[in-house]
Structure 1
Amino acid sequence: MRKVISLIFFSYLAVSVSGCASSQQAQPKGEMGNLLLAEPAPVNPRSQMAIARYNQVLANATIPDGDRAELLYQRGMLYDSVGLAGLAQYDYTQALQLKPDMAEAYNSIGIHFVQQLDFIQAYEAFDSTLDIDPEYDFAFLNRGIALYYGGRADLAIDDLTTFQTKDETDPFRVLWTFFAKHDIDPVDARAWLVAARPGLNPGHWAVKLVDLFLGTSSETALLNSLIEGISSQKELTDRLCEAYFYLGKYHSALGNKGIASNYFKLALSTNVYDYVEHRYARIELNRLRHPADDTE
């Protein structure tokens, strides 16, 4: 094991001290035991230098509108990667004013609208992406997620299934489709997940997440496997961001709100800002805290 991997094991991580712990029922023994914690991802100095270079180039007033829009979009992506969401959204907005047919900018700004729970604008942004480029695959994922969090799981299934069928070996695509289906019919969703399982890439670590939701593997087995194939701290942190999020979804479905909340907080603590799992962990936390506020 390389020295760059920092592993910290806890025999037990207490249920969140945010005040809700006292209202939770006692959690099953062993939950979150031997938990592998992530070292938060540092801000990439190359990203910071790249932002500075974009600032210098954009200060040149002679840049054609199309080129300026592209530069604004690229700077927005960099802002997103370092967690400066407000600046990123501003750049996407500016880019679209200069180049209204920029599919990728609509897709990126749509993700921000979802995070802000502004679902109507999110739907419109993803619709615009697909109107401009019907083959923009990730717009199907993002619109599906927007519909899922917007309380329209029946419509989300169509988009998420479209995205999933473009790569039926990807466990993450399968899981998002499963989540939407589960909101409509848990029994049917599980049957669908059982049918999708044999087509997954057996070498992908996240297959173990699918097995966890199917009940054919344990949380302990998953946690013990998370360092398999890892060769750097960054790979470990990225993987843990994903794992924490889906473990949060798993416990949320079981009604273990305290544990689910901790996992979503751990996903946020990784600072992997540009991962889907980091982007939506805060929405999941809000759903746990205010279930009555979920969009119907």
Structure 2
Amino acid sequence: MIANRLTIACVAMIIMLAGCTAAPQSNWTHPPMAVPFQPTIQQQIQLARIDQLLKRNDLNDDTLAQVYYERGLLHDSIGLRDLARLDFNQSLSLKPDQPDVFNILGVYFTQSAHFDAAYEAFDSTLELNLRHPFAQRNRGIALYYGGRYELALEDLIAHYQQNVNDPYRVIWLYLVDLEKEPETAKDKLQRRYDVSDKQDWGWQVVRLYLGEITESEFLGQITTESEDNDMLAQRLTEAYFYMGKLYHYNKDFQSALMLYKLALAGNVYEFVEHRFSLLELSRLMAEANIEQPTATAGDS
């Protein structure tokens, strides 16, 4: 139901903004696209096997918990997130000490803007596994979306220090810095870029943010260097989301709207950039309503 309400709200926002604002004239008016991901035969066969396995009555609780978790991951990977959440909750009811399950439920709570529940889920993850590879980052992102920027910085800085060569840790730190200390955000981004090994493709996003490459160059590199459709879809999902974030921050709502929709277009459900694009659309709607209030009866 939460996902349905979010989708309905986003559709309403899209209609509202599309009717009020002309399409922007930019060099991504005809953007590169990938063939959207579709459920594979292997995924469908695996789901059928799991469904058969769950009909057995000789599985203990630990095994059942693992099976529900695996089916939840499969449902999540093909975009059936309500079914996935039901599986994850069922898994936890059978075996409550699963940090990975709490972590992904925390992401789901963040997507639906239930931030207090998200914080609690990530806290539970870290209580069960202090070295969990994603929970601290995910909690920092949830704190960012919840407007608790100081706490978000604490988590994301600690996560960044564990691997200064991960561009996505640097990108999320920059997005929080833009909200907390915008006057120094770009300088910090430059310093973190300078000390990195610059090996991962994601550093191209940082270069775009720093103004070292243009949007045309950025998208052109993706289309020419992607080895197959999967890579193209994944990189475009990231590219359009992070481009959308910058336009959104600069209050170019129409451009941000188009970019978030493009980030969703590849159906790369497992990427955080896809996960949070619907949340960004919901936030954009709220901000657009503030920036463009409804005309009063006396207005022409």
2:277 paired residue number: 281
* Larger proportion of helix: 2
The 1:26/1:72 distance shift into structure 2, 3 A limit, reads closer
Q: 2: CA distance between counterparts of 1:154 and 1:17?
A: 32
1:221 paired residue number: 217
* SS of 2:269 mapped into structure 1: coil
The 1:41/1:215 distance shift into structure 2, 3 A limit, reads same
Is the contact between residue 248 and residue 264 of structure 1 (CA under 8 Å) also seen in structure 2?
yes
Please say if 1:84 is aligned against 2:80. Answer: yes
Is the contact between residue 211 and residue 217 of structure 1 (CA under 8 Å) also seen in structure 2?
yes
Please say if 1:189 is aligned against 2:189. Answer: no
1:63-82 pair list within 5 angstroms: 63-82=59-78
Q: Give aligned pairs, total.
A: 278
CA-to-partner distance for each residue in 1:34-77, whole Å, 9 max, x for gaps? 52112111112211111111111121122111111111111100
Q: 1: CA distance between counterparts of 2:31 and 2:196?
A: 26
Please say if 1:104 is aligned against 2:135. Answer: no
* Aligned AA (1:237): A
1:103-122 pair list within 5 angstroms: 103-122=99-118
Q: 2:49 pairs with 53, 59, 62, which one?
A: 53
The 1:199/1:48 distance shift into structure 2, 3 A limit, reads farther
Q: 2: CA distance between counterparts of 1:34 and 1:223?
A: 11
* SS of 2:267 mapped into structure 1: coil
1:134 paired residue number: 130
Unaligned runs of 5+ in 1: 1-15
273-282 vs 166-175, which deviates more?
166-175
TM-score using structure 2 length: 0.87
2:201 paired residue number: 205
Q: 2: CA distance between counterparts of 1:98 and 1:22?
A: 49
1:93 paired residue number: 89
**Deviation at residue 127 of structure 1 after TM alignment:** 0.2
Please say if 1:172 is aligned against 2:175. Answer: no
RMSD: 2.0
Q: 1:18 pairs with 10, 15, 29, which one?
A: 15
Q: 1:252 pairs with 241, 248, 251, which one?
A: 248
2:297 paired residue number: none
Q: 2: CA distance between counterparts of 1:141 and 1:290?
A: 25
4+ long deviations beyond 4 Å: none
1:19-34 pair list within 5 angstroms: 19-21=16-18, 23-24=20-21, 27=24, 29-34=25-30
Q: 1: CA distance between counterparts of 2:19 and 2:86?
A: 41
Is the contact between residue 237 and residue 266 of structure 2 (CA under 8 Å) also seen in structure 1?
yes
Is the contact between residue 32 and residue 223 of structure 2 (CA under 8 Å) also seen in structure 1?
no
Unaligned runs of 5+ in 2: 1-12, 291-300
CA-to-partner distance for each residue in 1:80-125, whole Å, 9 max, x for gaps? 0001101110111111111111110101111111111111111111
Is the contact between residue 23 and residue 254 of structure 2 (CA under 8 Å) also seen in structure 1?
no
**Deviation at residue 239 of structure 1 after TM alignment:** 1.0
**Deviation at residue 257 of structure 1 after TM alignment:** 1.1
